[in-house]
Amino acid sequence: MTHRLELRGITKQYPSVRANDAVSLTVLPGEIHAVLGENGAGKSTLMKIIFGAVKPDAGEMHFNGQRVSIGSPQEARALGISMVFQHFSLFDTLTAAENVWLGLDKSLSLQAVTERILEVSGEYGLEVDPHRPVHALSVGERQRVEIVRALLTKPQLLILDEPTSVLTPQAVEKLFVTLRQLADKGCAILYISHKLDEIRALCHRCTVLRGGKVTGEVDPRHESNASLSRLMIGADTPELHRSEPLLGDVALSVRGLNVPKQDPFGVSLQDIALSLQTGEILGIAGVSGNGQQALMAVLSGEDPRAAPGSVHLFGHDMGLETPRERRARGLHSVPEERLGRGAVPTMSLAQNTLLTRSDGIGPGGWLRMGAIEGMAASLIERFKVKAGGSHALAKSLSGGNLQKFIMGREISAAPKVLLVSQPTWGVDVGAAAQIRGELLKLRDAGCAVLVVSEELDELFEISDRLMVMAQGRLSPSIPVAQATTALIGEWMSGLWPQHTPEGEHVQA
């Protein structure tokens, strides 16, 4: 059988790192082929080379048996190659349909594209409202737009870079059905994910990269998570050690919080109540787009519309305080969006520390560049961030490495309260274990931690209590020991016991 894709000796050198070093791999028609590696192993660079977004320095690429040189994504799409990027390539001011239309044959009208979006999203269970502007979509909803856009091109080779990083378990299962259907029709799929369970359940073959080189090729269906992890990072994944929480004072208290949506497609926060004590991790689960971003924006101070008296930090009413004033009181936050919110893409890592840290600012507002660069260097070392030093631009890092840097910046500030959205989105298993371990260390040191995540396994692993957000409302809390995946999944539909004051434990 002719290979759908064959790479021979692909090499790409950047100033500070060799991203791909003589990489060779083959993909057959109808095959779902995983590319596995830790953050910075060269996976995304390799995919961009295949898609024509990056030009290799050496090597050959063959598609359907013919040698090709792809100079742009447009040429890749013309050949039948589509890609869903980890960092989305959508225009915020356009609707979902308009964004999809941009990447398609302009002989189709916008109305025809809109109808095709509804048809394909319904067929594959990827709910997309084509009329909504992208700026009003959550990260998970934007990802659906990207996937539907790729499917509309009827690809012969579909590249997916971390496609399930912000999808619920139910949505992941639907996506897998979609991918298996595509593979059955002869579409080859290159699948990048750090979720080893997914790779073992979905993929037929797996090529492992480490430091830009191929270190192995296996059938993941015959491997364990531990063996795949060893291939990927060269060691076993560190185990998390959890102790019983030592609860202290109420750090964050929310009562009667009502915030109207800011745009027609947003979600209003309705009668939100929660209580978070020092020494505990409270996890909030929920399907993407149910108000989680709005809640975190209000708590962090990014959205200043909380009514006086509705949000208290250690008993102090902080409803009218700015994010900087809240940080001064010990409240730090990690936003869902890394590039643009968590970090400025065109600024160096050293400069990005100044977004939330004042350690390097001296008397009179003078910047102490030595201290700033030293802080960035220590974060790079402590959190094992693969970067070309403290002067590296934020946009030059892989998604997982940037996440490690942003998480490290806030964790190392020794916060009293830490708000975190999607703490391990797009990071490899080793880095995910490290981040979760650091959050548990913070909690054991007396920090109050609020984690919003769409990965239930993560929430069950690190949380002491769980709540669920659905349609702008927050469920009662339940001790994680009493929670089950089925129960939390039911609550995600808004079906939970009513009139239970937050703080009282619900029996599973």
Kindly report, residue by residue over 40-64, the tens digit of the pLDDT: 889 989 999 999 999 999 999 999 9
Distance separating alpha carbons of residues 83 and 66, to the nearest angstrom: 20
Question: Could you tell me if 108 and 153 are in contact, meaning their C-beta atoms sit under 8 angstroms apart?
Answer: no
Taking residues 332-339, what's their average pLDDT?
90
Q: Phi and psi of 22, rounded to 5°?
A: 55, 55
Confidence of residue 126 (pLDDT cuts 50, 70, 90): confident
Asked which of 352-356, 441-445, 494-498 is least confident by mean pLDDT, the reply is: 494-498
Distance separating alpha carbons of residues 45 and 19, to the nearest angstrom: 7
Confidence of residue 144 (pLDDT cuts 50, 70, 90): confident
Residue 500 scores a pLDDT above 60: no
Taking residues 467-486, what's their average pLDDT?
95
Query: Considering the chain, what is the average pLDDT of its residues?
Result: 90
Distance separating alpha carbons of residues 392 and 351, to the nearest angstrom: 10
Q: Which superfamily is assigned to 5-233 in CATH?
A: P-loop containing nucleotide triphosphate hydrolases (3.40.50.300)
Please give the pLDDT value at position 506.
Answer: 57
Q: Which residues pair with 33 in a beta bridge?
A: 190, 205
Please give the pLDDT value at position 343.
Answer: 95
Taking residues 479-494, what's their average pLDDT?
90
Please give the pLDDT value at position 454.
Answer: 82
Digit-coded pLDDT (tens) for 415-463: 999 999 999 887 778 888 889 999 999 999 999 999 999 888 899 999 9
Q: Given phi > 0 = left and psi -120 to 50 = alpha, else beta, which region is 85?
A: beta
Confidence of residue 349 (pLDDT cuts 50, 70, 90): very high
Based on the number of CB atoms within 10 Å of its own CB, is 299 exposed (0-12), middle (13-18) or buried (19 or more)? buried
Asked which of 165-174, 194-203, 293-302, 339-348 is least confident by mean pLDDT, the reply is: 165-174
Confidence of residue 305 (pLDDT cuts 50, 70, 90): very high
Instruction: Supply 116's token pair.
Output: 């095709």
Please give the pLDDT value at position 489.
Answer: 84
Nearest to 350 by CA among 376, 370, 374: 376
Could you identify the residue written with the tokens 């962090």? 300
DSSP secondary structure code for residue 107 in this structure: T
Digit-coded pLDDT (tens) for 185-211: 999 999 998 888 899 999 999 999 998
Q: Phi and psi of 396, rounded to 5°?
A: -85, -10
| Percentage, residues of the chain above pLDDT 70 | 96
Taking residues 167-183, what's their average pLDDT?
81
Delimit the CATH 3.40.50.300 region(s) of the chain.
Answer: 5-233, 250-330+415-491
Instruction: Supply 223's token pair.
Output: 């491997």
Q: Which listed CATH number (3.40.50.300, 1.10.3720.10, 1.10.540.10, 2.60.120.10) goes with 250-330+415-491?
A: 3.40.50.300
Residues 6 or more apart whose CB falls under 8 angstroms from that of 11 comprise 18, 20, 21, 22, 23, 56, 57, 58, 59
Q: Which residues pair with 348 in a beta bridge?
A: 393
H or E element, residue 402: helix 399-411
Q: Are strands 281-285 and 465-470 parallel, antiparallel or unpaired?
A: parallel
Please give the pLDDT value at position 503.
Answer: 47
Instruction: Supply 393's token pair.
Output: 């631009």
Q: How many CB atoms lie within 10 A of CB 250?
A: 16
Q: Is 206 helix (H, G, I), strand (E, B) or coil?
A: strand
Q: 3-state secondary structure string, 418-431?
A: EEEECCCCCCCHHH
Based on the number of CB atoms within 10 Å of its own CB, is 194 exposed (0-12), middle (13-18) or buried (19 or more)? buried
Asked which of 458-467, 473-482, 495-504 is least confident by mean pLDDT, the reply is: 495-504
DSSP secondary structure code for residue 229 in this structure: H
Confidence of residue 214 (pLDDT cuts 50, 70, 90): very high
Digit-coded pLDDT (tens) for 239-254: 788 889 999 999 999 9
Confidence of residue 508 (pLDDT cuts 50, 70, 90): very low
Q: How many CB atoms lie within 10 A of CB 444?
A: 14
Please give the pLDDT value at position 426.
Answer: 73
Q: Is 373 helix (H, G, I), strand (E, B) or coil?
A: helix
Q: Is 200 helix (H, G, I), strand (E, B) or coil?
A: helix
Distance separating alpha carbons of residues 190 and 344, to the nearest angstrom: 30
Question: Could you tell me if 264 and 438 are in contact, meaning their C-beta atoms sit under 8 angstroms apart?
Answer: no
- Maximum alpha-carbon separation in the chain: 70
Asked which of 112-116, 147-151, 277-281, 327-331 is least confident by mean pLDDT, the reply is: 147-151
Confidence of residue 502 (pLDDT cuts 50, 70, 90): low
Digit-coded pLDDT (tens) for 254-297: 999 999 998 777 899 999 999 999 999 999 999 878 899 999 99
Q: Phi and psi of 51, rounded to 5°?
A: -85, -5
Distance separating alpha carbons of residues 130 and 121, to the nearest angstrom: 10
Please give the pLDDT value at position 226.
Answer: 86
Length of the chain: 508
Question: Could you tell me if 103 and 153 are in contact, meaning their C-beta atoms sit under 8 angstroms apart?
Answer: yes
Q: How many CB atoms lie within 10 A of CB 502?
A: 16
Confidence of residue 225 (pLDDT cuts 50, 70, 90): confident
